[in-house]
Structure 1
């Protein structure tokens, strides 16, 4: 279905052109062509969220983070790609712009925004996620919006872009923040879909906490020099680098209160995404794998960087709360982002990790598999002019080995002017895709996604 979405006029904004340019059609395509052979064990939906503004009032001042959310999905079953569809998340503003009936529903502080960052399946609900105080929005199996979701009336505020479903307990954990709050909020929801616990941790200065880490017994809070400031021209809050703000890591016991947070000093940096954290047996240490930036860009700076200009590198942080120390070790010099692991290993020891490698001179972007025990890596690279998104690991079976499975990612094919869903064997990533599902349209560069197997209740 095509909507008369106003298109932004020509401008130098990199987030409104090229691979970032929004699409204006909602497409449904069935029986998609496939090159190669889809594994029959892949039975479910691959969903990915990203910004796709319905309307842009000020193209020159538009920021990528502010675009309305759009979910792109591919349904796989029995060796076939049954469908592709993309749908805007229907906040009231989006529904109104599309001339549709408003869904209404609960709100936090009256905020109405179509979540544009992640999609998570939990307790029978498929949720589009964003940070900053907005509620998640629930989607039906065909990606239509049901409405805002407040965990059956138990969510005390907004949620977060990144959540972790603990494989041991089945509980969902998140660290939420809102520019209007003088705190961040650690939230735990039970497998019944209701919030059973939350802790308000006081913090000054409106820090941006896009992600957090979770181990068996601890929650790690990244209080770093990126804060929300109000744009004097638009009135909106955007993240900016504050060189005067100290960097620190908070260690909160999972069952502890706000007064039990141990704050550890860090060198100035920013962590947008962590890979995983765990507690090595027989030690009092925490080990975290993450992507570290030396600094973050200022969203108000008219000289803002082009996409990919600021880069992050994979590091291992060894945290010793009793000593109050954090030891950093850089593990790789490749510029990378969007780290993922086998979801069955979350909060536990993991050997393998995956990330998107940024373009390099003479080389297109690619997907990287890290062997964190051997200190090695392997890559799959897409041609120059192409693009590849976050790689999501799907195990071959519930009891398969840690790297026995597939990595799924959207990749732009410049020759077709459209996007493929890549299916790569995790044990031989460099060999390239075992299958390519050819979508009929281009999927703009976006953020995060997940595999929702048919086995989910």
Structure 2
């Protein structure tokens, strides 16, 4: 059963074919309907222990859109979700996040609530659950938006009135304490803000760390004792012409890594020089031998250094950074020559030593040809070296892979990797389920969605019985 609702004006349907903007064509092109489909067909066999929802966020612009100035990062957020239970795929849904602007353009009643500095943006970057709240997330000063179990927007979320400003697209939940950590920035702040949210869903700690020049800090790293801050040469420039992409590579800006003790203040940050580069996404970080921190991440040599910035045209690679706290140095080593992005690890290993990691193998040329982003998924063995790869067929595409352990006490790679993958034969998207311990063998199951899911960003597996949250058994 399919149900399409709330489609914008039909004139928007021709937008993707009428523009040369790669972010409005091909697999990046927005969809124009909200769809609900039940009892989805499955090829293969879904593990019966997968009981929950796989959710993923991404830009899906509503008209009117100016093809000359639109960039992938600026589209209103749409969350796509699949509900799994007892070996069945019960439903697929996609819903725009209802900021005031989105609700107004859809002809709906506005959802009243707080705003930070008057910002009204439908978060488009990540979706994550914490302390009983499912949150659509974005950076730069906007608030998270809370969603209900069926992906309808409840409204802006301020962690029960304790959030001092905007939030981040990439909070991290410490698997041992259960607390959420975040590093937030805002384009009007002369600092970045380290926040700790308790298991009750309220901010319990705030540290404002002064930084100059409005750097983009998309993500951060967490260890048992430290928070790592990436102060790198991509900065915001509000003086650019209206409609111009506001982020650019500042060739004169030093690159540095901040090491902040978890319980320290702004004056306790140690800033360590690194070679010029940029980092969107760390994989994980951990301490060892009393003086070292190892970080696995995806690094760019430079980014947004041109008139029309297309990030996929600047390849990124898996790196290992070794931070020597005694010497005050950072050593970078490239681990793979394949271009990759969207690194993930077992969430139970966050801030602790890990062996395995996963990433999307980026397509050569990226969105310059609008043919998608991901040519495959890579599983890395970081302890022994080597990797396995799940490759997409010609015309196919795959997004970020999310690791789901088979059980709370399962081995580090005992479980599944879930991702949205475009099937060129069906001209629609599948949710693929890969066995992490037999990665290259291909999916153990494919859930066939009735529509194409546009290329997007980040997602999460939200189990039905998550600690600190009511069950979503419905």
Q: Give the TM-score normalised by structure 1.
A: 0.97
1:303 Cα offset (Å) = 4.2
**Aligned pairs for 1:123-138 within 5 A:** 123-138=131-146
Partner of 1:141: helix, strand, or coil? coil
**For 1:142-164, what per-residue CA distance to the aligned partner results, in whole angstroms no more than 9, with x for missing partners?**
00000000000000000000010
CA contact (8 A) 1:108 1:157 kept: yes
CA contact (8 A) 1:56 1:62 kept: no
Question: For structure 1, which segment, 54-63 or 91-100, has the greater mean C-alpha deviation from structure 2 after superposition?
Answer: 54-63
Report the counterpart of residue 336 of structure 2 in structure 1. Answer: 332
Report the counterpart of residue 35 of structure 1 in structure 2. Answer: 43
CA contact (8 A) 1:364 1:383 kept: no
1:387 and 2:392 equivalent? no
Report the counterpart of residue 376 of structure 1 in structure 2. Answer: 386
Question: For structure 1, which segment, 394-403 or 318-327, has the greater mean C-alpha deviation from structure 2 after superposition?
Answer: 318-327
Report the counterpart of residue 99 of structure 1 in structure 2. Answer: 107
1:171 and 2:179 equivalent? yes
**Where do 4+ consecutive residues of structure 1 move more than 4 Å?**
none
1:322 Cα offset (Å) = 2.6
Selected match of 1:402 from 412, 415, 433: 412
CA contact (8 A) 1:230 1:237 kept: no
**Aligned pairs for 1:249-288 within 5 A:** 249-280=257-288, 282-288=289-295
**Aligned pairs for 1:229-308 within 5 A:** 229-230=237-238, 232-234=240-242, 238-280=246-288, 282-298=289-305, 301-305=306-310, 308=312
Selected match of 1:453 from 438, 459, 463: 463
Partner of 1:207: helix, strand, or coil? coil
Partner of 1:308: helix, strand, or coil? helix
CA contact (8 A) 1:368 1:380 kept: yes
1:114 and 2:122 equivalent? yes
1:62 to 1:360, Cα distance in 2 relative to 1, 3 A: closer
Report the counterpart of residue 85 of structure 2 in structure 1. Answer: 77
CA distance in 2, matches of 1:358, 1:204: 32
CA distance in 2, matches of 1:384, 1:204: 45
1:364 Cα offset (Å) = 7.3
1:302 Cα offset (Å) = 4.0
1:33 Cα offset (Å) = 0.2
Partner of 1:419: helix, strand, or coil? strand
Partner of 1:95: helix, strand, or coil? helix
1:358 and 2:392 equivalent? no
**For 1:217-251, what per-residue CA distance to the aligned partner results, in whole angstroms no more than 9, with x for missing partners?**
00000000000112643267722111111100000
1:90 Cα offset (Å) = 0.3
Q: How many residues align?
A: 452
CA distance in 2, matches of 1:92, 1:237: 23
1:207 to 1:379, Cα distance in 2 relative to 1, 3 A: same
CA distance in 2, matches of 1:100, 1:366: 39
Report the counterpart of residue 426 of structure 2 in structure 1. Answer: 416
CA distance in 1, matches of 2:315, 2:65: 29
Question: For structure 1, which segment, 314-323 or 371-380, has the greater mean C-alpha deviation from structure 2 after superposition?
Answer: 314-323
**Aligned pairs for 1:180-191 within 5 A:** 180-191=188-199
CA contact (8 A) 1:230 1:236 kept: no
CA contact (8 A) 2:71 2:245 kept: no
CA contact (8 A) 1:94 1:114 kept: yes
Show structure 2 runs of 5+ residues with no match: 366-372, 470-474
CA distance in 2, matches of 1:103, 1:41: 36
Partner of 1:344: helix, strand, or coil? helix
1:308 Cα offset (Å) = 2.6
CA distance in 2, matches of 1:27, 1:47: 15
1:3 and 2:7 equivalent? yes
Selected match of 1:321 from 311, 320, 325: 325
CA distance in 2, matches of 1:68, 1:169: 33
1:133 to 1:217, Cα distance in 2 relative to 1, 3 A: same
1:125 to 1:419, Cα distance in 2 relative to 1, 3 A: same
Report the counterpart of residue 221 of structure 2 in structure 1. Answer: 213
Partner of 2:172: helix, strand, or coil? strand
Q: Give the TM-score normalised by structure 2.
A: 0.93
Report the counterpart of residue 344 of structure 1 in structure 2. Answer: 348
CA distance in 2, matches of 1:443, 1:223: 33
